[in-house]
């Protein structure tokens, strides 16, 4: 038998909603009694609980959430817009974040001490964020020091990362970025150093570096945290401009070039619009690339009769299609692509969280340890200060 070239994942793999693992947001029991999903009074219960809480609660809904949850959101948006919105409501003691764990952490970092951030289901994690653990990233940095390249390297971390990774980024003088400002973040970082360690989404890093900054694919190396030196030689690390962490989004990673070719044949005149978390090959085959907010704006601004094939999370694509019946809007892949962790938050969890707050209990509060929060805040503030 040959030995497999793998090492065990540092995160315990648990069944969603069963058992608990404090080091990961996956597989966490709900501490209360959830109402059944079939309960016909759920909508009414959510409405009543929200009305009882009044201005004390502010409900945030990420674009990828189900319609039944979005119906109760005070504001919808991408992860950064939602964190900003939470910070802009210092009068609301309870922020119910209908998104995933890293987003609730960012909201906790950006909100005041009297505010409590609640994630209705602790199993709503993000597989991409889980692909870069603090220990792995610290180990990577130690090896970059060993290779003599750390001094020239500036960390740039995508918003879709844990608070611990954001803290690492701030501690090493780096910045956070979103899919909307990744180009500006890289421009800033290359004004400060000669290399970037981009965490944790290799695709956003590669797409931005090559397509927006004009670097070549050869300027990029991938850091595999399971291999010594990330699977690179010291010479390769010295020559590289972009060190891309080997992480990806399990939703956007599923779109293929074949799907682009197929939809062009099926829908003549279609414009293919994809998210930059898709692979370089898919983005290159598409007509347009854009963050979630840009995708929404492009579709909204397009004339009646426009035809779009969209490569992003299915809930958002379906909502766009429903909102624009005068346009043809199709999902890029043939297979279903929901974000399964984002979809952990459903109406029963939202009702449970709101009713707990009405009862004077704070369920599933997300808090970031103060030292990590301070460094993470530095990296987030650096992003806000980007030119």
CB closer to ligand SF4 out of 250 and 271: 250
Residue 345's Cβ-count burial label (10 Å; 0-12, 13-18, 19+) is buried
Instruction: State in angstroms the smallest separation of the CB of 377 from ligand SF4.
Output: 22
CB closer to ligand SF4 out of 183 and 250: 250
Is residue 251 a contact residue for ligand SF4 (CB under 6 A)? yes
Q: Which residues ranging from 5 to 24 are in contact with ligand SF4 (CB under 6 A)?
A: none
Q: Which residues ranging from 192 to 221 are in contact with ligand SF4 (CB under 6 A)?
A: none
Pick from 76, 106, 111, 127: which binds ligand SF4 (CB under 6 A)?
A: 127
Instruction: State in angstroms the smallest separation of the CB of 354 from ligand SF4.
Output: 22
Pick from 69, 70, 95, 100: which binds ligand SF4 (CB under 6 A)?
A: 100
Quick one: which segment of 176-184, 224-232, 263-271, 338-346 binds ligand SF4 (CB under 6 A)?
Answer: 338-346
What 3 state SS string does the chain have? CCCCCCCCCCCCCCCCCCCCCCCCCCCCCCCCCCCCCCCCCHHHHHHHHHHHHHHHEEEEEECCCCHHHHCCCCEEECHHHHHHHHHCCCCCCEEEEECCHHHHHHHHHHCCCCCEEECCCCCCCCHHHHCCCHHHHHHHHHHHHHCCCHHHEEEEEECCCCHHHHHHHHHCCCEEECCCCHHHHHHHHHCCCCEEEEECCHHHHHHHHHHHCCCCHHHEEEECCCCHHHHCCHHHHHHCCEEEECCCCCCHHHCCHHHHHHHHHHCCCCEEEECCCCCHHHHHHCCEECCHHHHHHHHHHCCCCCEEEEECCHHHHHHHHHHCCCCEEEECCCCCCCCCCHHHCCHHHHHHHHHHHHCCCCCCECCCCHHHHHHHHHHHHHHHCCC
Instruction: State in angstroms the smallest separation of the CB of 125 from ligand SF4.
Output: 8
Is residue 250 a contact residue for ligand SF4 (CB under 6 A)? yes
CB closer to ligand SF4 out of 61 and 93: 61
Total number of residues that touch ligand SF4 (CB under 6 A):
13
Instruction: State in angstroms the smallest separation of the CB of 45 from ligand SF4.
Output: 27
Closest CA to 68 of 91, 89, 94, 47: 47
Quick one: which segment of 15-23, 83-91, 243-251, 360-368 binds ligand SF4 (CB under 6 A)?
Answer: 243-251
Pick from 95, 126, 296, 316: which binds ligand SF4 (CB under 6 A)?
A: 126
Is residue 343 a contact residue for ligand SF4 (CB under 6 A)? no
CB closer to ligand SF4 out of 45 and 252: 252
Is residue 106 a contact residue for ligand SF4 (CB under 6 A)? no
Is residue 160 a contact residue for ligand SF4 (CB under 6 A)? yes
CB closer to ligand SF4 out of 125 and 155: 125
Is residue 302 a contact residue for ligand SF4 (CB under 6 A)? no
Q: Which residues ranging from 32 to 71 are in contact with ligand SF4 (CB under 6 A)?
A: 64
d(CA 134, CA 145): 17
- Measured from the Cβ of residue 306, the count of other Cβ atoms closer than 10 Å reads 17
Quick one: which segment of 33-41, 125-133, 297-305, 344-352 binds ligand SF4 (CB under 6 A)?
Answer: 125-133
Is residue 282 a contact residue for ligand SF4 (CB under 6 A)? no
Instruction: State in angstroms the smallest separation of the CB of 112 from ligand SF4.
Output: 26
Q: Which residues bind ligand SF4 (CB under 6 A)?
A: 64, 100, 126-128, 160, 249-251, 313, 339, 341-342
């Amino acid at each position: 038998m040959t030995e497999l070239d793998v090492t065990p994942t540092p995160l315990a793999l648990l069944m969603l909603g069963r058992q608990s693992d404090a080091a990961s947001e996956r597989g966490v029991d709900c501490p209360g009694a959830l109402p059944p999903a079939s309960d016909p009074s759920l909508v009414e219960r959510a409405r009543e609980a929200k009305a009882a809480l009044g201005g004390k609660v502010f409900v945030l809904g990420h674009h990828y959430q189900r319609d039944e949850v979005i119906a109760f959101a005070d504001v919808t948006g991408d992860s950064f817009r939602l964190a900003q919105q939470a910070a802009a409501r210092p009068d609301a003691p309870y922020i119910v974040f209908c998104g995933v764990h890293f987003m609730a952490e960012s909201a906790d970092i950006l909100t005041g001490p009297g505010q409590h951030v609640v994630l209705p289901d602790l199993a709503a994690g993000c597989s991409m964020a889980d692909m870069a653990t603090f220990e792995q990233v610290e180990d990577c940095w130690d090896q970059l020091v060993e290779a003599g390249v750390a001094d020239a390297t500036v960390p740039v971390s995508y918003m879709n990362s844990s608070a611990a990774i954001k803290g690492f980024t701030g501690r090493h003088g780096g910045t956070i970025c979103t899919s909307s400002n990744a180009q500006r973040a890289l421009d800033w970082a290359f004004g400060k150093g000669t290399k970037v360690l981009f965490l944790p989404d290799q695709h956003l890093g590669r797409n931005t570096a090559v397509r927006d900054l004009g670097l070549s694919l050869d300027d990029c190396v991938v850091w595999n945290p399971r291999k010594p030196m990330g699977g690179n030689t010291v010479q390769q690390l010295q020559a590289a401009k972009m060190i891309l962490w080997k992480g990806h989004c399990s939703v956007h990673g599923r779109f293929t070039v074949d799907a682009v070719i197929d939809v062009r044949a099926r829908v003549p005149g279609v414009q293919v619009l994809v998210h930059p978390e898709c692979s370089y090959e898919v983005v290159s085959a598409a007509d347009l690339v854009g963050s979630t907010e840009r995708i929404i704006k492009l579709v909204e601004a397009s004339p009646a009769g426009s035809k779009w094939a969209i490569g992003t999370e299915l809930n958002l694509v379906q909502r766009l299609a429903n909102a624009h019946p005068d346009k043809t809007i199709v999902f890029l892949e043939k297979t279903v692509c929901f974000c399964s962790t984002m979809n952990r938050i459903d109406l029963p969890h939202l009702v449970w969280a709101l009713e707990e707050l009405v009862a004077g209990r704070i369920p599933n509060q997300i808090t970031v340890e103060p030292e990590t929060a301070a460094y993470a805040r530095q990296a987030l503030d650096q992003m806000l200060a980007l030119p």
